[in-house]
Amino acid sequence: MKKIVVVGAGVIGLLCAYEIRRRGGDVTVIDKGEPGGACSLANTGWVVPSFSSPLPGPGIVGPTLKWMWSADSPVYIRPSAVPSMASWLWQFWRHCNSGDHAAGLAAVTSLNRHTIELFDAIKADGVDFEMHEAGLLCAFMTRAGYERALANFHAIDAVHSLEIHELKGASLMVKEPALSDDVIGGILIAGERHVRPETLNAGLVDWLNRSGVEITTGVEMLGVTQEGLAVNGIETTAGHIAADVLLLATGAWSGRLARELGFRLPMQAVKGYTITIESPAVQLRGPVYFPEKKVVTSPFEGALRIGGTMELSGVNTDRDPRRLAAIRRVGEAFLPGCFEGESQTEWMGMRPVTPDGLPVIGRAPNYDNVYLATGHAMLGVTLGPATAAATADLVLAGHTGIPVAPFDPSRFVEPTRT
């Protein structure tokens, strides 16, 4: 039996290990931190097939250029980080066109097609986690923002059926009484879900432990040993680990590991921040998104999480208090009193983003038995089960019926000139 080593114990790595082990594979997981302890720890846990649009798109460049130098704007690029990410930014902006956006939307929507039933299957398989089925409400303070979002949802609806409800006046307040009177309209996407990510991670770890999977923490991968194009083991801070297949699910750090393995993977960390209020005074009836400000909320059992924003400042764990202050201002504007409660916890996570905004799923360039599952941006929880199913197919059988060709890692390889 092949020994499969998964590097990375975030939600993607844990789901891949779960899917491989569920099919009988021999899998080991290592991580330099604790399972689910990085970007997977305190995000808002959305399961939202309606958000299948890749980040780059038409009309993005102008607002981004306006926002990028303001530390409390929805999108912020730290000036000192610009030189190191100039190439990535240029590639990202090149993908901000209608053709690339439509192709990316079709690809992600196709991967998302069975998301909801996959989560139901994981639950039925004995993975214990908190999941809610309240749909997703988008709230707006401007007519322009409302119309722009509605057009985007209808574009997704054309390729993946959505249940869209336009809410105004009394119908909006009945759906979410906590909203400010300044909110002029809402769009409800019924059928969407959200999970508390800490519980999903913990549930997967528990299932893997019960199923005989070894999860080793505090261990960092340093390199690989190989024969020809096949890896036969990895070198770590805890010594050598034999491997017949290597799967990298290392999120924002994937670009650095790819360089060490000799191939190109342009990956940037887009930081997001959250504030979790325990025993909140404001009890939301479901998750609410404020698209005009890129701020999101998720109500959990006994807690409310508010977060969002996009910050490009490199792969590091630095926190910018101005980003958290901006979230607080937006939260109070849309949901007065939302930060009142028993206690608060602030958090930052690095979401891995490629310049075309698409995940990276498949075999690594120049290797016969190295695979990647990373680059999911803000959709790690949403796309995790489908990514895991496709990855398990690839590492165990060498092929998959799930449409992952648009996510091939080789798309970043420079063509050979003749």
Let me know if residue 63 belongs to a domain.
Answer: no
- β-strand pairing of 288-290 with 136-140: parallel
**Torsion from C-alpha of 390, 395, 399, 405, nearest 10 degrees:** 50
pTM (2 d.p.): 0.95
Range of the domain at 395: 1-57+112-130+193-265+357-418
Two structure tokens written together for 206: 């528990």
Let me know if residue 392 belongs to a domain.
Answer: yes
pLDDT of residue 88: 94
Two structure tokens written together for 98: 């209608």
Let me know if residue 378 belongs to a domain.
Answer: yes
Q: Is residue 313 predicted with pLDDT exceeding 80?
A: yes
Least confident of 60-74, 108-122, 142-156, 303-317: 60-74
Kindly report, residue by residue over 174-190, the tens digit of the pLDDT. 999 999 999 999 999 99
- β-strand pairing of 75-77 with 131-132: unpaired
Q: What 3-state DSSP class applies to 135?
A: coil
Let me know if residue 145 belongs to a domain.
Answer: no
pLDDT of residue 79: 86
Let me know if residue 35 belongs to a domain.
Answer: yes
118-127 average pLDDT score: 98
Work out the mean pLDDT of the chain and round it to a whole number. 94
Report the percent of the chain where pLDDT is more than 90: 85
Asked if residues 163 and 190 have their Cβ atoms less than 8 Å apart, the reply is yes
**What is the tally of structural domains in the chain?**
1
Where b means 16+ CB within 10 Å and e means fewer, 38-66 reads bbbbbbbbbbbbbbbbbbbbeebeeebee
Let me know if residue 341 belongs to a domain.
Answer: no
Helix (H) or strand (E) holding 220: none
Asked if residues 371 and 363 have their Cβ atoms less than 8 Å apart, the reply is yes
CATH of the domain at 399: 3.50.50.60
Let me know if residue 105 belongs to a domain.
Answer: no
20-42 average pLDDT score: 95
Let me know if residue 49 belongs to a domain.
Answer: yes
Q: Is residue 414 predicted with pLDDT exceeding 70?
A: no
Q: Locate tokens 């905004």: which residue? A: 357
Helices and strands, counts by H and E, the chain: 11, 21
Q: Is residue 418 predicted with pLDDT exceeding 60?
A: no
